[in-house]
Chains A and B, each alone.
Chain A
Amino acid sequence: MKSINKVMPIVYFFLFLIGVEVITSYLAIDDAAIPSRYILHNFYNRNENIDTLFLGTSHTMYGIDPEVYERITGNKAYNCGTNWQYLDGSLALIKEADRLYDLKQVYVDLYFYVCRQPNRKERTSSDLVSAYYISDYMKPSSNKYMYIFSASNSEHYVEALIPQRRYIKNLADFRYIRSNLSKKSTENYQNYILESEYEKILKNGQTTCITSLENQGFYYEGIGYSLYDSKEEWNDWKEVLNEMINYCKEHDISITFMALPMSDFYIMQAGGLKYDEFIEEVLNVIETSGIEIDYWDFNLTKTRYLDLQEKDFKDISHLNSEGAKQVTALLADLEVKNNKEDIFHNNYQQKLDSEVKIFGINLMVDEEKNVITIMPATNADDKEITYKITHLDSEIKINYQKNASFQYETGEKYKICSYINDKLCNTVWYTGK
């Protein structure tokens, strides 16, 4: 009795610790719109095995349709792509899937920008947001804690282990708490359903999306991401890639690296031919590992096998459900038939050489002067390019020149057609801001 009395305060101490943990995280964390909450919930609560796991960033979330894959290959698949997933996050999820399921195959998407991942020991709070998308929703296991301790330096451990600390300032805002409570009291939240008019997270992990770039075109306001500034940025990523290869080898899991298709406009914006250097780095890592591993870069697919149009894209770098169906079907076919030599160009240069195009246009908008400057992403000769800009019934035609620009009116819709030697190559609709 005396010894029970001695231990009871410790029991109460832990009970209170858990109680406060539950209450503060419920009140402070607003995660109703965080996709990984739903994706990882479904990942942990499957009734069937995961034979094949797809990992990567939002490109994977939107770009892989497990249903199509299952139909063609007969394997049970799960799409565990999450926003901005670093490769060490993918590795943690491979380990977790290996712990829970009889995992046979993984596909890991290598999106060039995420491969510029900041060194794990130098990540800042903002770099870690995407790591928290995973660690916050992993169930307690050695994999989760190993991931937390390896994803950053000790300065961030408390924030990673106790997520509500990152949101704690919200507890001083009653409106936030009220709005959070009302979101959490909905049936959808409680049943782990994330659904909007255009997007939905399915039980197999895929995020479906029905919007497309049709009647919008490939354009970007400003300058997009760059492939890399210095190749040293790739060091940490390559290290994790090796860890991943070794883990899969040791656990008898077949691994395939892939790059899901982005629009060529997006790649051209990021540096165009520099993309070949990225491919080379990936192939080097695979080669030095001494293991036979496939790298399927769908950005190199020949048009006759995969001809993605504006209607297949959600935005310039993500596929929508239509695009996902086509790419997944091709991927599954490749797995079954193993005929990659015929499907892919050897490199991006080869793909560019196959056709002269205007892939899209960068619009530099000066909102003060109401002037738009058009910068094309193209492999055509500058002198061959002309534009036709239509607004209502009026038509402006300008020949390409560096910094070609035109005056616009706020709220008005413009159709910008780009031509190479008078052949229409690209159409963009833009509403003036």
Chain B
Amino acid sequence: MWIFICLASNIGILGLFKYANFLLTNFFALAQRFGLRCIEYRLDLLLPVGISFYTFQAISYTIDVYRGEVSAEKNILKYALFVSFFPQLVAGPIERSGNLMTQIRNIESIELKNLQNIKEGFMLMLWGFFQKLVIADRISIFVNAIYNDYHKYGFMEIGLATTLFAFQIYCDFGGYSDIARGAARIMGFTLMHNFRQPYLATSIRDFWSRWHISLTSWFTDYLYIPLGGNRRGKGRQVLNNFIVFLVSGFWHGAQWNYVMWGFLHAAFQTFGCIKKALFVKWGIFQTKATFSTRIRKIISTFILVDFAWIFFAGNGLQNALKLLRQMTKAFMIYGITDLNFGVFDWTALILGIFILSVVDVLHEKGISINRFFEKQENWFRGGVMAALLWSIILLGVFGEDYTVREFIYFQF
């Protein structure tokens, strides 16, 4: 009984703020289609920042307590800190009670003046700001210019913008996660990793084990497995897969383009599973794990993920479809010289993406940057930190000349 009250109140609040107007809009549109006349009504509500994140965190705690995986927290202040822990409050990672709540319960043992934690946290924050201000926000100048005037451009320009958008959203969201983890680290808390080199994934399934890990694991634990997961046959597995991705799309935003984005990922993953099963059955394309195979898989996965990003970035389903139509209509190069995106911006961007790629490849090879740094001489460690700080100050996209851009995931 209490579990239902808890879940209903959490989901109810989320539904009211985030989905009520979406449902009303679609209801009235449907009613109009059937010739019903009604007075259209919308709720005039301000969406609380990060509501999707802390609602899911609160739900996970409730279910974990219900399942007996963690004990109920009797101290309301500690519970409040768990739900509203400021570094990750607005855009995750969506922490689980097993990790963050355990640390909060042992808050007395956290050493606040730990130099190692401060150094690691500071470095993580710098890296996060670098991703956000130097890479993501610089890309957004280009992407917004192309997407807002897409009818002026063709396949090459929109394609390039879409490719860059993949890096924009990664650096924007990944950057926020690193800043959150860094801020928490300085205070002695360890938050979970939310990204693990997502664009080095070799399949869509692999991608989702690397992208927004806290959300994926949340859906796996609290939706996919309770629905039966892959235990009730292939057909049910495919259905569960679609349900999870459609809900995930809907979680991102109350718009059809996000639902479409989720649908595409479900379809890609299902197709991948079917393809793999058939190929195993027929004994064809039994590829060995060579370097070239891995590269091919990484590229093909990236293309699929990037294609789906069009729906994520497209500002509504209609707009995303128009973008796609424009890409197929105009194959010529229209030129991208009038975008106020000069040699300096391209140089900074390419350099930024190169550094990001190197860091991701090193992580993929199991080389921890932190441990790597710890082994280096003092001048090198100090130098890299200073270089990172300077690159943010000098190359960062902020100030009057640029439009201030919020983190993309703040809207969720």
Contact = CB atoms under 8 A, between A and B. Distances in A.
Is chain B a partner of chain A in the same complex? yes
A340 interface: no
Contacts of B387: 16, 20
A156 B400 contact: yes
Given A155-B400, A162-B393, A171 B382 contact: no
Interface residues of B, number: 23
B394 interface: yes
A12 B379 contact: yes
B395 A15 contact: no
A125 B379 contact: no
B381 A9 contact: yes
Contacts of A342: none
A11 B379 CA distance: 9
A57 to B, nearest CB: 24
Interface of B is mostly: helix
A172 B390 contact: no
Contacts of A20: 386-387, 390
Contacts of B115: 6
Interface in A1-60: 5-6, 8-17, 19-21, 24
Interface of A is mostly: helix
B389 A125 contact: no
A155 B389 CA distance: 18
Interface string B15-51: 0000000000000000000000000000000000000
B379 A172 contact: no
A317 B310 CA distance: 58
Given A124-B400, A168-B344, A12 B394 contact: no
A125 B347 contact: no
Given A124-B400, A169-B344, A172-B347, A164 B382 contact: no
Interface string A148-166: 0000000110110010110
B401 interface: yes
A292 interface: no
B328 interface: no
Given A24-B394, A162-B393, A172-B344, A9 B382 contact: yes
A156 B398 CA distance: 10
A165 B382 contact: no
Given A125-B401, A162-B393, A9 B344 contact: no
Interface in B364-385: 378-379, 381-383, 385
B394 A165 contact: yes
B354 to A, nearest CB: 16
A8 B343 contact: no
A10 B393 contact: no
B393 A165 contact: yes
B399 A155 contact: yes
Nearest to A17: B386
A156 B399 CA distance: 6
Contacts of B393: 158, 162, 165
A168 B394 contact: yes
A187 interface: no
A10 B378 CA distance: 8
Contacts of A422: none
B342 interface: yes
30 contacts: A5-B378, A6-B115, A9-B119, A9-B378, A9-B381, A9-B385, A12-B378, A12-B379, A12-B383, A13-B382, A14-B382, A15-B382, A15-B386, A16-B387, A20-B387, A20-B390, A21-B390, A24-B394, A124-B400, A125-B399, A155-B399, A156-B399, A158-B398, A158-B399, A165-B393, A165-B394, A168-B395, A169-B342, A172-B342, A172-B344
Q: Which 3 A-B pairs have the closest CB atoms?
A: A12-B382, A16-B386, A172-B344
